[in-house]
Structure 1
Amino acid sequence: MLRRSILTGVASLLLSAVPLVATGEDMSKTPLHAAAGQNNVATIRKLLAEGVKIDARDGSGATALLVATHGNRIEAAKALIEAGADVNAKDNIEDSPYLYAGARGHLEILTMTLAHGADLKSTNRYGGTALIPASERGHVETVRTLIEAGVAVDHVNKLGWTALLEAIILGDGGKRHEQIVDLLVKAGADVNLADGDGVTPLQHARTRGFATIEGILTAAGAH
């Protein structure tokens, strides 16, 4: 059981990672993709006025908006979103502007995607909603924003983990993850929903010596 848990943890570290740049992003790049990556709003508007396809894909399947999101190019993303770019368009590894912005804590772009039709039920290649990697990575305001938007707090990914479990298992137990656990609990997260090995959030917190998180869970009825 211990060995299985360790292997699961190691695998999760590899699987939960969202690449900073999607593989092959430089392949078949259009001028619109290049302008988005450079945060060149004037060129973006010129190209769109000339009739270029706003959701054209590069070699990795990324749209110009996803390229802008990769680099947290806020002005470029704003111009594209306001012009009608699809915030849910996924690349070859199932990242979308909405999902990537959530995972990386690109809060301004995330907020724009939420205001323009982000699919809250959409999942990444590991079956996780935007809330799960945001919780793991300690993006407090992103987690708060996603909860307020209505993302399901108890969604379980392919690893058998919820946002609460990832915040504990892959978090560092510091202030940011304490705040995230508190936010998730207050949002109604099931504090007794165990992982695939039957280990509960409370057991994980105790094993790691996360006393404050343990207290938050216990106060919420965890056992």
Structure 2
Amino acid sequence: MPQSAITDAIFQKAVDAVSSGDLGELQHLLAWHPHLASYRHHTPDDGYFKQPYLLWFIADNPVEHDHLPENITGIAEVIIKTIRQHAPELLQEQMDYALGLVATGRVPREHGVQLDLIDLLIDNGAKPGSGIGALAHNNIDAAQKLIDRGGDLTLAAAVCLRRTDWLPALLEHSNPAERQVAFVAAAFYGYADMLSLLLKHGVDIDALPGKGYGFHSHATALHQAVSSGSLEAVKVLVEAGADTNIPDLIYHGTPLGWAVYMQNTGETGERDKEKFALIETYLKDK
């Protein structure tokens, strides 16, 4: 939600103080306007950031400034203290969702504050969950932190974190849905060995998982292996019978189309372009 859409002047000042790291201004605003602890900015549906509380701005997720102040953990601590004092009945809801925004965010990771924010939120009662959201956004360290702090030990997490010591027991007690999520996750990270393992335990190699799986929920495991840049992972899937002609559900691109696109996006470095060129050549031969 663009901050320009905020119409409440006091709330806007508080959001600005969070974004700039102005702790003194934030403390002043919270002292004179304690309703900020429970206030939600009501807007039309804005996806996952609709009707945000002030606390939810600590992650810059969705990205608005592409920046977080160095003292963001102290900023968050002051807001949490105010919520605990003036709106304790809303504390759990605000904390849990703030943790999700931090754990899945790119900006907290890139600014080196993600793990400290996770610790602060969990120390104040946020529930760590499973870490799947963090893993689906390439936040490996955040996922490990969540699990270290009591998060669920899922099969997908074990695969993504390459915790082979967890895998036998988790596989033994897994259901088909859990194995499918782990399979998609292994492809997303390009882990050829994990794909080979999971193929032996009953997964749908061509499934389009849809919403709820995280990762690229609109694409097959083969698409995801292509996007990882791992030719080895692509080979494992193709040689196991993956259909190379299935389009994804959003862009309608085949895995070959994804390989071509990845070479031409401005975000791809020269070394990665070479990886995707090799994948393109391989898929053209199939």
After TM superposition, the score normalised by the length of structure 1 is: 0.51
What is the alpha-carbon distance in structure 1 between the residues aligned to residue 196 and residue 218 of structure 2?
22
Partner of 1:161 in structure 2? 219
Residue identity matched to 1:198:
H
Task: Kindly state the Cα deviation for residue 212 of structure 1 after the two structures are TM-superposed.
Answer: 2.0
What is the alpha-carbon distance in structure 1 between the residues aligned to residue 188 and residue 144 of structure 2?
23
What is the alpha-carbon distance in structure 2 between the residues aligned to residue 182 and residue 99 of structure 1?
21
**1 or 2 for the larger relative contact order (CA 8 Å, sep ≥6)?**
1
Task: Kindly state the Cα deviation for residue 146 of structure 1 after the two structures are TM-superposed.
Answer: 1.1
Provide Cα deviations, 1:22-61, integer angstroms capped at 9, x if missing partner: 9965566xxxxxxxxxxxxxxxxxxxxxxxxxxxxx9445
- The count of aligned residue pairs is 142
Q: Give the secondary-structure state (helix, strand or coil) at the position aligned to 2:281.
A: helix
What is the alpha-carbon distance in structure 1 between the residues aligned to residue 122 and residue 157 of structure 2?
14
Counterpart among 111, 119, 132 of residue 184 in structure 2: 132
Aligned pairs (5 A) from 1:42-53: none
Structure 2 gap segments, 5+ residues each? 1-61, 63-100, 106-113, 131-142, 211-216, 264-275
Structure 1 gap segments, 5+ residues each? 1-10, 29-57, 72-90
Counterpart among 205, 215, 219 of residue 285 in structure 2: 219
Residue identity matched to 2:225:
A
Residue identity matched to 2:226:
I
Q: Residues 99 and 178 from structure 1, CA distance in 2 versus in 1: closer, same or farther, beyond 3 angstroms?
A: same
Kept after mapping to 1: 8 A contact 2:156/2:185? no
Q: Residues 68 and 203 from structure 1, CA distance in 2 versus in 1: closer, same or farther, beyond 3 angstroms?
A: closer
Partner of 1:178 in structure 2? 231
Task: Kindly state the Cα deviation for residue 140 of structure 1 after the two structures are TM-superposed.
Answer: 2.4
Q: Which has the larger radius of gyration?
A: 2
Give the 4+ runs in structure 1 shifted more than 4 A: 17-28, 66-69
Partner of 2:147 in structure 1? 70
Q: Residues 136 and 67 from structure 1, CA distance in 2 versus in 1: closer, same or farther, beyond 3 angstroms?
A: closer
Q: Residues 141 and 69 from structure 1, CA distance in 2 versus in 1: closer, same or farther, beyond 3 angstroms?
A: farther
Across the aligned residues of Structure 1 and Structure 2, the Cα RMSD in angstroms comes to 3.7
What is the alpha-carbon distance in structure 2 between the residues aligned to residue 110 and residue 104 of structure 1?
11
What is the alpha-carbon distance in structure 1 between the residues aligned to residue 181 and residue 255 of structure 2?
19
Residue identity matched to 1:70:
I
After TM superposition, the score normalised by the length of structure 2 is: 0.41
Partner of 2:49 in structure 1? none
Partner of 1:97 in structure 2? 154
Task: Kindly state the Cα deviation for residue 198 of structure 1 after the two structures are TM-superposed.
Answer: 1.1
Partner of 2:201 in structure 1? 149
Q: Give the secondary-structure state (helix, strand or coil) at the position aligned to 1:107.
A: coil
What is the alpha-carbon distance in structure 2 between the residues aligned to residue 104 and residue 110 of structure 1?
11
Partner of 1:188 in structure 2? 241
Q: Residues 68 and 160 from structure 1, CA distance in 2 versus in 1: closer, same or farther, beyond 3 angstroms?
A: closer
Q: Give the secondary-structure state (helix, strand or coil) at the position aligned to 2:207.
A: coil
Aligned pairs (5 A) from 1:14-25: none
Kept after mapping to 2: 8 A contact 1:104/1:134? no
Task: Kindly state the Cα deviation for residue 103 of structure 1 after the two structures are TM-superposed.
Answer: 2.8
Identical-residue share of aligned pairs (%): 27
Q: Larger % of helix: which?
A: 2
Partner of 1:51 in structure 2? none
Kept after mapping to 2: 8 A contact 1:69/1:100? no
Kept after mapping to 1: 8 A contact 2:147/2:153? no
Kept after mapping to 2: 8 A contact 1:154/1:189? yes
What is the alpha-carbon distance in structure 2 between the residues aligned to residue 191 and residue 129 of structure 1?
20
Q: Residues 102 and 120 from structure 1, CA distance in 2 versus in 1: closer, same or farther, beyond 3 angstroms?
A: farther
Residue identity matched to 2:158:
A
Q: Give the secondary-structure state (helix, strand or coil) at the position aligned to 1:130.
A: helix
Partner of 1:111 in structure 2? 168
What is the alpha-carbon distance in structure 2 between the residues aligned to residue 194 and residue 23 of structure 1?
42
Provide Cα deviations, 1:110-138, integer angstroms capped at 9, x if missing partner: 23311x32113237xxxx61111211212
